[in-house]
Structure 1
Amino acid sequence: MSLLRALQSLLLATTVSGSLLLPRQANSTNSTSGYAVKTPPLTTPWTYEVGEHPWPQYPRPRLERAAWQTLNGVWRYENASVPQAIDTPPFNQTLDNPVLIPSCLESGISGVQGTFNIYSWFSTSFTVPSNWTAGNRVLLNFGAVDYQATVFVNGQRVGQHTGGYFAFTFDVTSYLSASGGTNELLVFVFDPTDSNPYVIPIGKQTLTQSHIFYTPCSGIWQSVWIESAPSNYITDLNLNADMHGNVFGAITTSQNASTSAEIAITARNSSGSQFTHQVYANQNFSFNYPTPDLWSPDTPNLYDISITLGNDTVSSYTGFRTISRGVVNGIQRPLLNGEFKFFFGTLDQGYWPDGIYTPPNMEAMRFDLLTLKKLGYNTLRKHMKVEQDLYYQACDELGLLVIQDMPAMDPLHYFDTPNCTAEPILPNATQQAEFQRQLEMSIRQHRNYPCIFTWVIYNEGWGQATQPPWPSIALTEVVRALDPTRLVDAVSGWFFHGAGDYLDNHHYSEAQCGAPVYSINSAPYDPAYIGIQGEFGGIGMNASIQNLWPVWEAVKTINQTYEINVSLDSWRFRGHQLIEDLRMQIEMYACSGAIWTQTTDVEGEVNGMLTYDRRVLRPDVQTWNSDVNACYAAGAARTNSSMSMMGSMAMN
């Protein structure tokens, strides 16, 4: 019997009568490069629209240069099998297989759809454009490589980067072909997913998929590009703007000893009004932009920014808004621009059946976000994953607040004790220090995006020490020092040790939000903290076979869903019931925000607003909008003009 027929006989193959959003599309023809999408277990409407020139957009909108060239496209790939392979790089050789960059090796979009991709080689070639300014530096940029990348250019080792979610740059000027011709780029990737003794930030990736742990992503999964910059160029931009028009931060340059270099910053809004200010490189600065239009989910006003250091000009943008914490009518609340508005969103895991971590294209990525806005949400929690920069730009433009998780250290590693129990393998001192280094990297690379309002350090005890000193306490102070402009959720769910701004309850299916009730692992509500429901809902409904991830390891765990409804009408009624209960908790207790699980189905989880293939939307849009807006109204009713700001933490 075929796998498809076997699944059909095992599943409750209910035909979902929800909104059919986009049609299926046929496979595209193969090209002369040899690359073709490998049919994944489940497609999306964009699977075969990827093409051979994916993600043509400039990948880093917070610091964009005009002279750049994408290296995305069809590269070559070869499994390296053993770690010693790095000692004998395959210079000037054609690797075995075509592979699409960016992509996860495990994905159909990659053209490989491999498994157990621990050691890998990737190669391509590039030519520096002849019209780039002579004497400028050539910078090679990677959006993200999972997990450790060692880069070679023209037979020479350029450098190494560790961390599967973060961008890195190498100045490759001195490694380029002297004749101005073709340059060979070779990348060795090591991805120790589920490999002892590695305890690393990994999120929900695993080699052995189960209900809430999914297919891993190995390789170059975000964009690669080169760009031209003068000898003294801008390397980093830390720029924040508050509700009062104050702009503050620092601009780092490649010659960071040169603190006297002047930098011109010009801000411009959509109507053309602009303001220019002079600051100095590698020094903290502040200035005021008069009467700005503020950013919020209802009015996502953004200002274009132009920054000039000598011959280096970069484009960026910002939004004027202030995140703070204050007491409103006796209750600790998160504040946006000095006001409390209930935040409501989904747990957004960012997985794709055809691309795993990498969406097929920009349209697909924005589709998820637009769906959330259509349903009335003003927030999402980016769960156990850090996205590409274009994702956060889209949230800024659309007006979606983002709670940003730090991907957890591997929660699936266990060792057997003498008394026959399984204990989690927790990080040692070195691994804990590496977790902190990557947490700091996440904040530095993403603190410019107005949409992000909360940093999450830990989730549900994953990778947390089980005895003091509790790392969440020290890490909260690290986060505050790096970014005092946002709130900190030190522990989402459990185990809570008093750090951060929130007391974050997880409970399925019903909420326990700022209420005098709690369950195992969760802490009782403490009025010294902001009470939120970091995860709830999670009710499932089995999709029909054509919308389901048809992999047995996932299918057999569907019955682990917290609650399964056998019809769409039942699912919609139950969802209405749960949000109505949340609304009453907002009215009666200290509930300030909630996160529904989740945006889409993911592999063996069938509890999304959308099915995993993005073809079926479960909620009735009008009803769901009404229910969500009722929660916002309940939150608004808990505020008045006599709002007390005593004890507030101003986070300009």
Structure 2
Amino acid sequence: MFGQCRSQHPAALANNNTGQTIKYSVKQPPLTTPWTTKVGTNPWPEYPRPQLERSEWQNLNGIWQYQDAESLDGLQTPPFGQALTHEVLVPSCLESALSGLQGTDTLYSWLRTNFTVPKSFKDQQVLLNFGAVDYEATVFVNGKEAGFNRGGYFHFTVDVTEYVDLDADNELLVFVHDPTDSGETVIPIGKQRLVPSHIFYRPCSGIWQSIWIEAAPGDYITRLDVDADMEGKVTITANSAGQNGVAVDVKVYDGDKQVGHGQGTADKTFDFTVDNVKLWSPDSPKLYNVTVTMGEDEVHSYTGFRTISKGKVDGVVRPLLNGEFVFMFGTLDQGYWPDGLYTPPNREAMVYDLEVLKDLGFNMVRKHIKVESALFYRACDEMGLLVIQDMPSARPLQDPLPNEEQQEEFARQLELLVNQFKSYPSIITWVVYNEGWGQITEYYPEFDLTDRVRELDPSRLVDSTSGWIDHGAGDFSDNHHYANPQCGTPFYSLQSSPHDSSRIGMQGEFGGIGHNVSIENLWNVEAAINAINETYEIDETLEAWNYRGHILLKELEDQIRKFECSAGVWTQTTDVEGEVNGLMTYDRRVKRVDEKQWKDDIQALYDAAAERGARS
């Protein structure tokens, strides 16, 4: 079932004196999931970018080759035309079991494959698309450098038309540098650590989201921004690769029936109105298909009609969805997998987590200091799950703080986050900083960053500082407190600021109660197991764990009724490595929740909010 069961250092991986590439096999991870053995060698076959979809494309996921590059000097001598030492699964984290490597300290890597450009691509541009590469990628095609990208969470495209041969074998070689938290490096990394410790986890390096080629005309759409509001107004920007002023035609469909039409020009924002639209909400996640034509380029997309705002309801500042106060309740959703780390084993596994949350009655997830693939947000759009989206943080606890250059890079990547994901209806709020991690305190950068986010995306709310270091920026007064909540209340902990009634009261994190399980459902790594007792609270039985959950949710309900609480985030969806405080275990095989109790308690939160001016 599995390959060799041990974690290997890249130096060991590269020490292959046989002259033959070691064949791919899944390594035995410290913990499996029900999907580990279902991944196969052609993972993630779905079209990876559902909001800018082209008809002519080819998936490059599958078995590639890998070799340790040892240092940045490796860039000086690319291994063109050479077999590398190991086969590897793409997409996957090089540190994961699914990669076939389960490496450690994979700071410098070579990855290669060969591909054929179909004859149907003749006389068109050949675009090479990467879903995400952590952290820096230098791309070579047929022995020539074709592109470079920095940023481990964002998609990028390389036009490789001049480098490829049609209907022939083409070599693709990618050099990846991922420093994570080595030395004085300060980059957006979320919870990745070279040396994991309790709430910080095994890192992810390499090509961890899908890669594909597609055909496009010479002047093609590079980014499509779509916003549709509750009044039926559709706002469109079709960014182009060529000259400005090309005509753009937009058609909106309800199923196969055309219900709207608008026209404008490339690289200029324009709008039009669709009559009698059905609104998108968690109760009714209605989506409309969109076809956009710019010159010879035609792409397919979709949207949902909804408006996100804030306003006073009975004297309290509230988040509003389609003009109504909707209490937002979700989980801290970290998106880690024991077999794939950052990369879910497959779409079924990814959607399973969301279905569990939706079935329990949660209407939101806080995507915690990680960015998922586009298919995750498509699933939330389809399912009706609101998303509070964090910017991946730099190193925590100001150790060390970013210098000026590093801060500029953080700001650049924050802009990428907003621009690349602002068309997904489910995303309702951007989070700039989490608990002060990477947040400079000599001045208050969150104010300028918040202004920039609002400039890029005026259609959403901004949670400038989720927990801790709050100087008054943004739309939320966001408290973190374990285990019990302090949501919109006149009391607060030492690490949280007093509630600010001029902003939305939110419990950005609470809960975190733990329940230990037997070894077959634990991340079987000694350091992680030894850290379990660092959990905020350990309950000896599931009965006690569910009782504590009930008490804490009842306390939140009481705060909704008495104070100014508008949203809550429960920690967390699943266990992760040494954390045992999930609604499910890390392997997704055990649900801790008493489902009827949790459904009733969650509904009671919405009912309490309805009495204060929300709909149930």
1:130 CA displacement: 1.2
1:272 CA displacement: 2.7
* 1:289-344 alpha-carbon deviations (Å, 9 max, x no partner): 11110000000000000111122110000000000000000000000000001110
Q: Which amino acid counterpart does residue 189 of structure 1 have in structure 2?
A: V
Aligned: 1:438 with 2:413: yes
Unaligned runs of 5+ in 2: 1-20
Aligned: 1:200 with 2:175: no
**Aligned-partner Cα distance in 2 for 1:640–1:353:** 39
1:620 CA displacement: 1.2
* 1:63-102 alpha-carbon deviations (Å, 9 max, x no partner): 0000000000000000111110011000000000000000
Check conservation: 1:300, 1:398, Cα contact below 8 A: yes
Q: Which amino acid counterpart does residue 457 of structure 1 have in structure 2?
A: V
* 1:207-235 alpha-carbon deviations (Å, 9 max, x no partner): 11111000000000000000000001111
| 1:272-287 map, 5 Å | 272-287=257-272
- Determine the structure 2 residue equivalent to 1:75: 64
- Determine the structure 2 residue equivalent to 1:459: 434
- Determine the structure 2 residue equivalent to 1:340: 325
Check conservation: 1:33, 1:74, Cα contact below 8 A: no
* 1:152-173 alpha-carbon deviations (Å, 9 max, x no partner): 0000001110000000001000
Q: Which amino acid counterpart does residue 231 of structure 2 have in structure 1?
A: H
Residue 586 of structure 1: which of 560, 569, 584 is its match?
560
| 1:34-53 map, 5 Å | 34-53=23-42
Aligned: 1:158 with 2:158: no
- Determine the structure 2 residue equivalent to 1:306: 291
Q: Which amino acid counterpart does residue 425 of structure 1 have in structure 2?
A: P
Aligned: 1:182 with 2:169: yes
- Determine the structure 2 residue equivalent to 1:90: 79
Structure 2 SS opposite 1:436: helix
Q: Which amino acid counterpart does residue 322 of structure 2 have in structure 1?
A: N
**Aligned-partner Cα distance in 2 for 1:568–1:270:** 45
Q: Which amino acid counterpart does residue 142 of structure 2 have in structure 1?
A: N
Aligned residue pairs: how many? 595
**Aligned-partner Cα distance in 1 for 2:183–2:521:** 35
**Aligned-partner Cα distance in 2 for 1:53–1:328:** 51
**Aligned-partner Cα distance in 1 for 2:314–2:254:** 36
Q: Which amino acid counterpart does residue 232 of structure 2 have in structure 1?
A: G
**Aligned-partner Cα distance in 1 for 2:191–2:567:** 24
Aligned: 1:242 with 2:229: yes
TM-score after normalising by structure 1: 0.90
Structure 2 SS opposite 1:131: helix
Structure 2 SS opposite 1:617: coil
**Aligned-partner Cα distance in 2 for 1:191–1:102:** 16
Following TM superposition, where does structure 1 have runs of at least 4 consecutive aligned residues deviating by more than 6 angstroms?
Answer: none
Aligned: 1:168 with 2:143: no
> In terms of mean alpha carbon deviation, does 357-366 or 34-43 score higher?
34-43
Q: Which amino acid counterpart does residue 311 of structure 1 have in structure 2?
A: E
Structure 2 SS opposite 1:98: strand
**Aligned-partner Cα distance in 1 for 2:287–2:71:** 48
1:582 CA displacement: 0.4
TM-score after normalising by structure 2: 0.95
1:263 CA displacement: 1.4
Aligned: 1:634 with 2:601: no
**Aligned-partner Cα distance in 1 for 2:136–2:396:** 20
Structure 2 SS opposite 1:616: coil
1:270 CA displacement: 3.2
- Determine the structure 1 residue equivalent to 2:364: 379
- Determine the structure 1 residue equivalent to 2:470: 496
Structure 2 SS opposite 1:396: helix
Check conservation: 2:509, 2:569, Cα contact below 8 A: yes
Check conservation: 2:326, 2:614, Cα contact below 8 A: no
- Determine the structure 1 residue equivalent to 2:254: 269
Check conservation: 1:374, 1:621, Cα contact below 8 A: no
Aligned: 1:616 with 2:590: yes
Unaligned runs of 5+ in 1: 1-31, 413-422, 642-652
- Determine the structure 2 residue equivalent to 1:291: 276
1:196 CA displacement: 2.0
Residue 548 of structure 2: which of 570, 574, 583 is its match?
574
> In terms of mean alpha carbon deviation, does 304-313 or 626-635 score higher?
304-313
Residue 108 of structure 2: which of 119, 126, 130 is its match?
119
**Aligned-partner Cα distance in 2 for 1:234–1:382:** 28
Aligned: 1:369 with 2:350: no
Residue 130 of structure 2: which of 123, 138, 142 is its match?
142
Report percent identity of matched pairs.
Answer: 58
Residue 397 of structure 1: which of 382, 385, 393 is its match?
382
Check conservation: 1:460, 1:491, Cα contact below 8 A: yes
- Determine the structure 1 residue equivalent to 2:16: none
Structure 1 SS opposite 2:95: coil
Q: Which amino acid counterpart does residue 578 of structure 1 have in structure 2?
A: L
1:634 CA displacement: 0.5
Cα 1:33–1:275 change in 2 (3 A) is: farther
Comparing both chains, which one has the higher relative contact order based on Cα–Cα distances under 8 Å and sequence gaps of 6 or more? 1
Structure 1 SS opposite 2:73: helix
Residue 506 of structure 2: which of 509, 532, 536 is its match?
532
- Determine the structure 1 residue equivalent to 2:94: 105
- Determine the structure 2 residue equivalent to 1:13: none
Q: Which amino acid counterpart does residue 138 of structure 1 have in structure 2?
A: V
Cα 1:615–1:640 change in 2 (3 A) is: closer
Check conservation: 2:134, 2:152, Cα contact below 8 A: yes
**Aligned-partner Cα distance in 2 for 1:89–1:467:** 43
**Aligned-partner Cα distance in 2 for 1:453–1:215:** 29
**Aligned-partner Cα distance in 2 for 1:219–1:426:** 25
1:526 CA displacement: 1.3
Aligned: 1:258 with 2:233: no
**Aligned-partner Cα distance in 1 for 2:223–2:196:** 38
**Aligned-partner Cα distance in 2 for 1:544–1:519:** 34
* 1:256-307 alpha-carbon deviations (Å, 9 max, x no partner): x331x21111111137352222221111101101111000000000000011
Residue 514 of structure 1: which of 481, 488, 502 is its match?
488
**Aligned-partner Cα distance in 1 for 2:126–2:141:** 12
